[in-house]
Amino acid sequence: MTQRGNDLIRGSLDLMVLSVLADGPKYGYLIQQRLNDASGGAVRAPAGSLYPLLHRLESEKLLRSRVENSTGRQRKWYELTAAGRRRLSKQAQQWNELAACLETLLRPVLEAPPDPA
Which parts of this chain interact with another protein (CB under 8 A)? 27-29, 46-49, 51-52, 55-56, 58-59, 61, 63-65, 67, 71, 73-76, 82-83, 86
Q: Cα separation of 91 and 28, whole Å?
A: 22
Give min distance, CB of 61 to another protein, in A: 7
Give min distance, CB of 104 to another protein, in A: 26
Residue nearer to another protein on the CB measure, 29 or 99: 29
Residue nearer to another protein on the CB measure, 7 or 29: 29
* Chain-centre distance for alpha carbon 43: 10
Helix or strand (DSSP H, E) at 114: none
Q: Cα separation of 74 and 59, whole Å?
A: 19
Residue nearer to another protein on the CB measure, 29 or 108: 29
Burial of 45 (0-12, 13-18, 19+ CB in 10 A): buried
